[in-house]
A and B are shown apart, each in its own frame.
Chain A
Amino acid sequence: MSLRTFRARRTRLGLFTAGVASMALLATACGGSGSGTAAAPKNFSYLSVTENTTVKTALTSLSEGSCKSANDALPLKVETVPQASLDQKLQLLAGQGALPVQFAAGNAPALTQKLAKSGKIADLEAKLKELGVDDQLEPAAVSTIKALYGGKLEVLPYEYNIEGVFYNKKIFEANGLKVPATWDQLVASAAKLQAKDIQPFSASGQQGWPLTRLLSGYLYRSLGPDALKDVADGKAKLTDPQYVKAATEIAALGKKGYFGKGVGSIDYDTAMNQFLTGKAAMLYMGSWALANISDAKQDKIGADNVGFMPFPAVSGGKGSIDQYPSNVGLGITLGAKSFDKNTGAWVSCIAKNYGSKALKDHGSISGFKVNTPVTDANEVTTQVRDTISASKQNVLWFEALFGTKATTISQTNAAGLVSGSVSPEQFMQTVQDALSAQ
């Protein structure tokens, strides 16, 4: 072997070794971060979404009031991301073992369950019992959470909402309309309003879910409370005729222009604003909208002018008008790794005080007990609170039992359904395909 080839070989070998070494280094760097060791948190870090201001404002005022001692030990630190990028952020943080102490747990319960299965989420039921505050949660809220999260208490009920249609009483009176009890009456009322150049509904097509909620509302009324559980269990398909019928009904509303122009580019705030400034007669929304309705700055038509009605019955349907879609808002949960004594102090303080604080300051109804009596800001809040306590059976929403992919696809295609660019059959087919691919 000549000296030259020997050198060349040595160089090649050296390069190869360096390459392998660097790859190995990279491998350990990537693999190692997955399982961080538990370290006591320095902050009560809370990752929330930009869209929800109630929880973070209420928590901030608790940190200065009732929960001051918990806050002194573990200062509250709020961070927000847009709701649309929450799922990405959580998956990345979870992958790096860097989940915050408390966080909004994903747009679909499926993601939360995935996090729970891999042990990233604290066992809240056990923790609350340990802290002796498990009786601070409203049973209705707990049962809603369990229905959503496979029988487990995986999130805290910072919100407890029922959904229905908010309507503008003044517009209804001026046009001689009664609160519609059936779907046909609702459609007839919308037609009457449209004829008088009043936009019947405002809805956000950019978010998509305000539209798909109408779809599930119709399904629950026509097929009964198990309509979507059957789909999740594989007993029925969204492409079955009775399911497509619901999509056809909602698409028809859009076809007649009842959602106004360009529904696909209307975002949540704009839709809310259209209703609260009297530009639209009805708004399908959850009871969290009471916070906006009670806010005189936003609500130009006045809270006294807003009525609430359940999603109307479908003639001959198996569902009943008193089954309200309910939810606990965007689920908020706590990381398993960072749950220590200081975190516990925060949680028990929240459990005891959050209910009254949120109701008093924001008119927002939560699933925590209201320990300090609060007088309601307005009639419609009272009406909704009464409805919640009287409601016996709850139903879920359209995407509640879907995975992340089907949820996204359903919500991004909803605007197309009502603008006519996607046919009802196509819409249901697309969502069903995404469901089947899960």
Chain B
Amino acid sequence: MHRVLGDRRAIAILLGPALVVYSLIMLVPMVWSLGYSFTKGNSIDGFTGNGVANFSRLLDDPAVRHALWFTLKYAVVVTAGQVVAGYLLALLYVFFLKRASALVRTLVFFPVVLPTVAVGLLFQKFFQVAPQTGPVNSLLNAVGIDSIDFFGSSSSAFWVLVVMDIWRSMGFYAVLLFAGLVDIPEEVLESARLDGATGLRLVRHIVLPLSLPVLMSSLIFSINGTLKAFDSIVALTNGGPGNDTTPLTLYMFQTSFTYGDYGYGSTIAVLLTVVCLLVSLVVFRVSRRDLTEG
């Protein structure tokens, strides 16, 4: 076996096809996109070289700063919400509902399998103020508060977005973390209980450290997903009001495909790639350190 795997030709034959496919569908488009970021134009007019003009424009563009800020804010808030809510649900499944949790798990997981656009429309109707008053505003009216135009101001639109995305995906993280919690040996918990650790103390000192690896993978999953969020935002607010809820992904899409500025759109894509890379590196670093120590 060692002889086969030590042979470079064997490695090439075994890895080759996968590498070629990976290069064709992942690396080539990335390099291609990087190439476009030094050009100006679109598929109608054709492309012309533009040097680093797109990159200097990127630095000066207030819309990019706004989109980047929104993307980071959204990623942090939604990730925190998703993972915390998922973790609490997982604890609920394991320690409170125990074996009877199957039905609750299914119910909470259900939104994960719904199409994002359907969820977006659902929340739009839920929070709408006109032409019909949605259930949320009806409730507010019932307790004597005036209707709120949730999608009319950037802060309320942001929070509706956050609530929707957490609701939509917490079931997934709950199941993921549930798997991690189930993995904790019953004996460890039992002996901790015998030592007098119950409730929060048990969670804080025994459950949390032992489920850290799966918690870390949830974080990486979540941050990666939320930095690239696109469909849920398009379905719910389409970046509005104005461009207040426009993340980098949507700004990139609009620049390339709506404004027909492919070169600059690619530059924004490069920025997004760099941001994802940096965040992944940081999370990876943190998680590696934690794993070796704990």
Residues of A within 8 A of B (CB): 4, 7-8, 11, 14-15, 18-19, 22-23, 26, 34, 87-88, 91-92, 94-96, 111, 114-115, 117-118, 120, 260-266, 270, 273-274, 403-405, 408-409, 412-413, 415-416, 419, 421-422, 430, 433
Contacts and interface: CB of A to CB of B under 8 A. Distances in A.
A403 B62 CA distance: 19
A219 B238 CA distance: 29
B24 interface: yes
| Binding site secondary structure of chain A | helix
| Binding site secondary structure of chain B | loop
13 contacts: A22-B20, A117-B45, A261-B130, A262-B151, A262-B152, A265-B124, A265-B149, A404-B259, A408-B259, A413-B242, A415-B240, A416-B152, A421-B244
B20 A111 contact: no
A88 B44 contact: no
B12 interface: yes
B211 interface: no
A264 B151 contact: yes
A421 B241 contact: yes
Nearest to B23: A19
A406 to B, nearest CB: 9
A308 B257 CA distance: 38
Contact of A114 (B20, B152, B260): B260
A11 B254 CA distance: 43
Contacts of A19: 20, 23
Contacts of A34: 43
B43 A8 contact: no
A95 B258 contact: no
B152 A421 contact: yes
The 5 closest A-B pairs by CB, nearest first: A95-B43, A262-B130, A262-B129, A405-B259, A88-B257
Nearest to A269: B131
Nearest to B239: A412
A266 B130 contact: yes
Given A91-B260, A408-B259, A421-B153, A7 B242 contact: no
Contacts of A409: 243
Interface string B111-138: 0000000000000100011110000000
Contacts of B24: 22, 26
A66 B189 CA distance: 84
Q: How many of chain B's residues touch chain A, expressed as a range?
A: 35 or more
B67 to A, nearest CB: 13
Interface string B1-40: 0000000110010001001100110001000000000000
Contacts of A117: 45
A418 B20 CA distance: 54
B217 interface: no
Contacts of B129: 261-262, 265
B261 to A, nearest CB: 8
Nearest to A403: B259
B287 interface: no
A186 B117 CA distance: 41
Most buried by A among B149, B242, B243: B242
Contact of B258 (A120, A265, A408, A430): A408
B42 interface: yes
A419 B152 contact: yes
Given A262-B129, A404-B258, A7 B9 contact: yes
A87 B168 CA distance: 31
A95 B42 contact: yes
Contacts of A120: 44
Contacts of A265: 124, 128-131, 149, 151-152
Contacts of A274: 131
B260 A415 contact: no
B154 interface: yes
A422 B240 CA distance: 12
A118 B44 contact: yes
A415 B152 contact: yes
Given A111-B260, A120-B44, A264 B240 contact: yes
A34 to B, nearest CB: 7
B242 A422 contact: yes
B224 interface: no
A114 B151 CA distance: 35
Given A91-B257, A263-B130, A115 B242 contact: no
B147 interface: yes
A279 B153 CA distance: 25
A26 B28 contact: yes
A88 B44 CA distance: 12
Contacts of B238: 412
Most buried by B among A265, A413, A430: A265
B103 to A, nearest CB: 36
Nearest to A18: B20
Nearest to A22: B24
A117 B241 CA distance: 34
Nearest to A26: B28
Contact of B242 (A15, A96, A262, A430): A430
Given A114-B260, A408-B259, A92 B149 contact: no
Contacts of A262: 128-130, 147, 149, 151-152
A408 B242 contact: no
A430 B246 CA distance: 15
Given A19-B20, A94-B43, A118-B45, 15 more contacts: A114-B45, A118-B44, A261-B129, A263-B130, A270-B130, A273-B131, A403-B259, A408-B254, A413-B242, A415-B240, A416-B242, A419-B152, A421-B241, A421-B242, A433-B62
